[in-house]
């Protein structure tokens, strides 16, 4: 029976062999959570000055490597703690369905961290060595999300840490290396992105609630229940769009930023696709739509800033 379920899950998730095993390992559908903050931070810097494109690319690659490594640590430690099985859908399946040695996954993650550190040296030499301190802290939290004696993913703080570190902090670093300063405007603009990135984590935890509860995790959906967590997710979306509207009204964002509200169509679909669902496979479309919401919102926000600079 178990082998049949394994085949069904693999087919349902369209998991293929060969190169796709390693491609799934970095969880590419989540990587916009790295691209969007770097792109947004760079565009905010652009309207306040100019862009060093080499620094932009260095920051982007380093951020993508750190997030990919974090995803791999997640894969490794969840398997080591017995949370992942061949029926789990919120994973790449590289270990439990493709048979890759767990230690190999962990080692690749450390290699990615090492490469990002080398890139970080260039970024620091071009900006400030304080970036190294902040970068190492971000990397530590990436590891501690599922590693260490008390993983952050086992607490109700996962959304907060992922949102702030990958949202406001990454946008702040990206803005700082381009301009050499931090402004209140940049901080305000980063908040909706922070909310959307935290929402990706919340969606993941809504989908995985039942398995997380069995595994001893105390995530927000485990503590308040799936339906209340979905309502909380909807509330976060409303807050993010309300802040955007306020920013446009008071002049923090240009009128072009009204384009971001096109992403609300996808945000509404997230809530609709979550309601009434109980099986992880059924909730996969909602989970993916949450990431797409962040992508569309962040991309349109950055484009609106670019347009306001050019017109």
Q: Hey, what CATH topology would domain 34-305 get?
A: Farnesyl Diphosphate Synthase (1.10.600)
- In angstroms, rounded to a whole number, what is the distance separating the alpha carbons of residues 205 and 195? 15
Structure tokens, 101: 């040695």
Q: What is the pLDDT of residue 122?
A: 95
Structure tokens, 251: 């002049």
Q: What angle do CA 240, 241, 245 make, to 5 degrees?
A: 120
C-beta separation of 30 from 71 below 8 A: yes
Q: What is the pLDDT of residue 99?
A: 81
Q: What angle do CA 291, 294, 295 make, to 5 degrees?
A: 85
Q: Any residues with CB less than 8 A from the CB of 256 and at least 6 apart, and which?
A: 303, 304, 305, 307, 308
Could you read off the pLDDT tens digit of each residue along the chain, which spans 311 residues?
344 444 456 665 656 777 788 888 888 878 888 999 999 999 999 988 879 999 999 999 999 999 999 888 988 888 888 777 766 666 667 887 778 898 999 999 999 999 999 999 999 999 999 999 999 999 999 888 888 888 899 999 999 999 999 999 999 999 999 999 999 999 999 999 999 999 999 999 999 898 889 888 999 999 999 999 999 999 999 999 999 999 999 999 999 999 999 999 999 999 999 999 988 888 989 999 999 999 999 999 999 999 998 88
């Amino acid at each position: 029976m178990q082998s049949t379920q394994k085949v069904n899950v693999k087919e349902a998730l369209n998991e293929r062999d060969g190169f796709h095993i390693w491609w799934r390992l970095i969880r590419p559908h989540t990587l916009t959570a790295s691209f969007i903050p770097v792109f947004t931070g760079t565009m905010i810097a652009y309207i306040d000055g100019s862009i060093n494109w080499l620094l932009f690319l260095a920051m982007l690659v380093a951020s993508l490597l750190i997030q990919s490594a974090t995803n791999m640590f997640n894969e490794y430690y969840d398997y080591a703690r017995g949370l992942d099985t061949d029926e789990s859908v919120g994973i790449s399946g590289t270990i439990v369905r493709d048979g890759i040695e767990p230690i190999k996954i962990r080692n690749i993650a450390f290699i990615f961290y090492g490469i990002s550190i080398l890139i970080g040296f260039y970024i620091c030499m071009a900006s400030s060595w304080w970036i190294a301190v902040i970068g190492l802290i971000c990397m530590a939290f990436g590891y501690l999300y599922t590693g260490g004696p008390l993983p952050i993913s086992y607490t109700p703080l996962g959304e907060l840490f992922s949102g702030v570190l990958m949202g406001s902090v990454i946008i702040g670093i990206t803005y700082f290396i381009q301009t050499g300063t931090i402004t209140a405007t940049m901080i305000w603009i980063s908040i909706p992105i922070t909310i959307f990135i935290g929402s990706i984590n919340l969606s993941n935890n809504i989908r995985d609630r039942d398995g997380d509860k069995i595994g001893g995790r105390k995530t927000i959906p485990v503590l308040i229940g799936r339906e209340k967590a979905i309502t909380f997710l909807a509330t976060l979306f409303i807050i993010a769009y309300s802040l955007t509207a306020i920013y446009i009204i008071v002049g923090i964002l240009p009128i072009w930023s009204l384009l971001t509200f096109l992403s609300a169509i996808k945000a509404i679909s997230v809530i609709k696709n979550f309601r009434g669902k109980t099986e992880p496979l059924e909730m996969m479309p909602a989970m993916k739509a949450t990431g797409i919401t962040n992508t569309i919102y962040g991309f349109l926000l950055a484009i609106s800033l670019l347009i306001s600079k050019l017109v």
